[in-house]
Structure 1
Amino acid sequence: MAFEIAQFTARSDNFCVLVHDPASGATASIDAPEADAIVKALERTGWRLTHILVTHKHSDHVEGIPALKERYGAEVIGPAASAAETGLYDRTVSDGDRFTFGGTPVEVIATPGHTLDHVTYHMPEEKLAFAGDTLFALGCGRVFEGTPEMMWGSLLKLRALPADTIVYCGHEYTLANARFAATVDPSNTELTERLREVERLRNDGKATLPTTIGREIATNPFLRADSPTVMAAVDLSGADPAEVFAEVRRRKDRF
């Protein structure tokens, strides 16, 4: 992998991610949850911020942008659907758009559901995806603005990425997600082992991310709404997978 990546926490449970291209010196922050945490990470690494890639408009993903923009003059790239609402983006992107970062292609995948503007940034040559709050390790974001059908469609887009794609997410929710997942996919032995792993990592104060698409396909019930075992566990055998997803999401909301 040509890129160097720094992942660190901010706020209460947000993840910040810096992506650095040593060849060009370009450095991107994926979202900007907290300016101070990002500045400190840049100082530790010696990198200079050149880009901010915004996945969606929620304040815990964009509130650091003004201070970072003033300090570094970084170019802010964000979803066209929230450009007018936020007033924060220098350049806007939509589904299917492509641009380059550090000479590397970046594909924009619209992944609405959590919010209507949400996008995922996919760097196929680097086998990286930055999924914001659409896909979490063993979970997915709450459906705030979209519909369950819309969110299921977005997850299917991410599920179709190569299995070895490394996924960075916006929050450290994995332990709670894993405990819930075991209630709707109880016969999944890979999930049982992953729950033990997540418990060990969190007990040691270690991060559970990044993950991979392949790992999520095997153990994340929100990507497995069309699995007969998940369907049976929520009493919806043979139902439309979008309906199964909606029921799994409702159960997680109450968990």
Structure 2
Amino acid sequence: MTYLAHSAHAQLGALWLGFVGWTLTAVSLGLIQWRVWLVSDRDVISSGLAWVGIWRTCFHSNTLVTPGFLNMHCRYLSLTEAFTPPEIVAGQVLMLLSLLVGLCGNAGGVYAMRNVYFGMEKNSPIRLAFYTAGTLCLLAAVMSLIPLVWNLSSVVTNQTIKFPPDFNMPQAPDSQQVGCGIGVGLVGTVLLFVSGIIFCQYRLPVRSQRPESSLPALPAPSHSARGRDNSAFVSDEHL
């Protein structure tokens, strides 16, 4: 068994970064504050704020109440609806795939660290395990980055969504801002990127071996070192 705990301190930190990044990606997926719409008509939207996530849109209302949400009215967004913009459809699909791939990447990192800290067999593919974990983390980061940047661009360019009348959402907001959901997702994506790069940079330590030619040669025994013959013992043999 070979123990390499001293060679993977950076990868241990990368494992924690990958786990935190994956957790933030999951949190971002569930937040509704991807886009913050500011509206002046408060007849239905009492607070003047409406939140658009990738799964549902919500706002506080004194007239419309959704069961289970107190004084908040929410409607779920489906990727099969014609009004759902492509950036939200991409968010629903790619963010879920990012969670799955990121989970596999973190699991690969745990497996590789197990071999490092508890010893590995001679033919254990520890280098391949780290490289696979890093590749999966990088792939998860790319999958989450695409919808995050796409929705960020839609907010910056003030793109609107044509909601049906039953959503009680305005056709266009007075203005809109980037919500914390995108910010949390971007932080998680950066952590997954860093984690994947560190995993891929792992190298097995080089063992120092002394060549046989560098070993000091033992001196050949000389005849003088054997001592002198006992003449009395030799003469006794002929008696």
Superposition TM-score tier, normalisation by shorter sequence: under 0.3
Which has the larger strand fraction? 1
Which has the larger helix fraction? 2
TM value normalised by structure 1: 0.21
Question: Bigger radius of gyration, 1 or 2?
Answer: 2
Q: Greater RCO between the two (CA within 8 Å, min separation 6)?
A: 2
